[in-house]
Amino acid sequence: MNFNRRHFMGAAVAAGAGLTTGHLLAQPKNILPPQYAPKPVPAAAKAADMPPLLKEALGALDTHSSRVANRDVIGLVDFSQHSREQRFQLIDVPNGRVMETWYVSHGRGSDPANTGMVQKFSNRMNSHCTSRGSYLTAHDYYGKHGHSRRLMGLDPDNNLAMERAIVVHGADYVDESMALNTGRVGRSLGCFAVERTVIEDVLQRLGPGHLLYASKA
């Protein structure tokens, strides 16, 4: 499922996020007279309306709460989507909305035939694969791909991210015109590569201490 703004009607996601991150979410005041006040919807029903991958991400936010300092915004990458889709989502957790969407690459080793779809995940060194799981955004730096941000893997499936130099960076092989004209964007060596035109926005919005969650629905 490609998460878009229609899937995040604020109350549904905010209520669902409250199941795991309740201290973040302020309860809205009821300004209507009692006879017009909306009937409460069970939290379980609201949570059921959320896309499964978002539920996983919010669960990961709680699991790694002691390490994730900035919990108001998270990055969410749905690798069940084709690379021609804007599958990198920036989620405003308290307000339950998608703030931005971007194109993002996956690793060559995860898609050897260059189909545009992730076929497998791996955490092995030199696999050139994408790894699934929870990442903590770390410090930025300037390297061969320009301005980039390091990632720390928080799960057994991605805990070698630092050693593998899995980072967020800009790349010429990720481009909207490429996605439209060829039906896919290029592949990385396992990094989260985005369009060069948006890399500064991505790095600013997902500064150090945020959760980046990547998996398949």
Confidence class for position 47, pLDDT limits 50, 70, 90:
low
Nearest Cα to 12, choosing from 39, 50, 44? Answer: 50
Q: Label residues 24-43 b or e (16+ Cβ within 10 Å = b).
A: ebeeeeeeeeeeeeeeeeee
* pLDDT over 60 at 72, yes or no: yes
Whole-angstrom Cα distance, residue 214 to residue 195?
A: 18
What is the bridge-based pairing of β-strands 133-143 and 97-102?
unpaired
The yes-or-no verdict on residue 164 having pLDDT over 50 is yes
Among 126, 102, 132, 103, which residue's Cα sits nearest to residue 116?
103
pTM of the full predicted structure?
Answer: 0.81
Kindly report the backbone phi and psi dihedral angles of residue 26, in degrees, each rounded to the nearest multiple of 5, phi listed first: -75, 140
- Cα separation, 210 vs 217, in Å, equals 21
The C-alpha angle 87, 162, 129, rounded to 5 degrees, equals 50
Q: What is the pLDDT of residues 10-43, one digit of tens each?
A: 434 443 444 444 434 333 444 444 544 444 444 4
Which domain does 91 fall in, by range?
Answer: 5-215
Quote the number of domains for the chain.
1
Interatomic CA distance for residues 137 and 54, integer angstroms: 18
pLDDT tens digits along 106-130: 999 999 999 999 999 999 999 999 9
**Which residue from 186, 194, 25 is spatially nearest to 104, judged by alpha carbons?**
194
Return the CATH number at 157: 2.40.440.10
The pairing of beta strand 133-143 with beta strand 146-153: antiparallel
